[in-house]
Amino acid sequence: MISMVGLSVTGCSSAVVVRGAESPTESTSPELIEEATDFADWSLPADGKVLLVRRDRPGDLKYSLAVEMSPTDLVWMLENSKFVAEFREWTGTSPEETIAGPPLDTSPHMRRGQDFFQSAEGVSMIRDVLVDERTPELRVVHLEFRGQ
């Protein structure tokens, strides 16, 4: 939704239109998943479970995704998405860091990596990957793709 406000200005012959920021879109629809992954040239594993996708347009376009997967699927996803950044231990617990999944303050172990990437369409962006190593068999992966 785009909010619009009309203003009258003395000396102007027409109304001035001020556009507000577009409201975020959240969904698990295949269309929004494809839009987000296409934006960042990102590959999701077939067995991954998308918990939620969010699109924001506060200025530059930003997509956030939360996806559950196995450790094997995580390796596949990173390789096929050409994500080569080094991961480091991460201890943040801010609820703003995630859009879905269990609270980060209950995670036994987290790692985070970030790269600067140019998509096939020439869009420069930051790709941020936060891996919540929830159990030996489960990873909750929080992805954020921010256009520059």
Query: Mind listing the pLDDT tens digit for each residue in 96-107?
Result: 679 999 999 999
Q: Are the beta carbons of 67 and 49 closer than 8 angstroms?
A: yes
Which residues does 34 contact at the CB level (< 8 Å), separation at least 6?
none
Helix ranges (DSSP H) in 63-147? 71-80
Q: What pLDDT digit, counting tens, does each position of 70-104 carry?
A: 999 999 999 999 999 999 999 876 766 799 999 99
Q: Where are the domains of the chain?
A: 23-147
Over 60: is that where the pLDDT of 110 sits?
yes
Q: What is the pLDDT of residue 26?
A: 96
Q: What is the pLDDT of residue 60?
A: 83
Which tokens in the block code for residue 123?
A: 């869009």
Average pLDDT of the segment spanning 29-48: 97
Q: What pLDDT digit, counting tens, does each position of 18-33 carry?
A: 345 578 999 999 999 9
Q: What is the pLDDT of residue 92?
A: 79
Q: How many other β-carbons are positioned within 10 Å of the β-carbon of residue 73? A: 19
Q: What is the pLDDT of residue 25?
A: 94
Please, what is the average pLDDT of the chain? 87
Q: At CB < 8 A and 24+ separation, what contacts does 73-80 make?
A: 73/45, 73/47, 73/48, 73/139, 74/45, 74/131, 74/139, 74/141, 76/43, 76/45, 77/42, 77/43, 77/44, 77/45, 77/48, 77/141, 78/129, 80/43
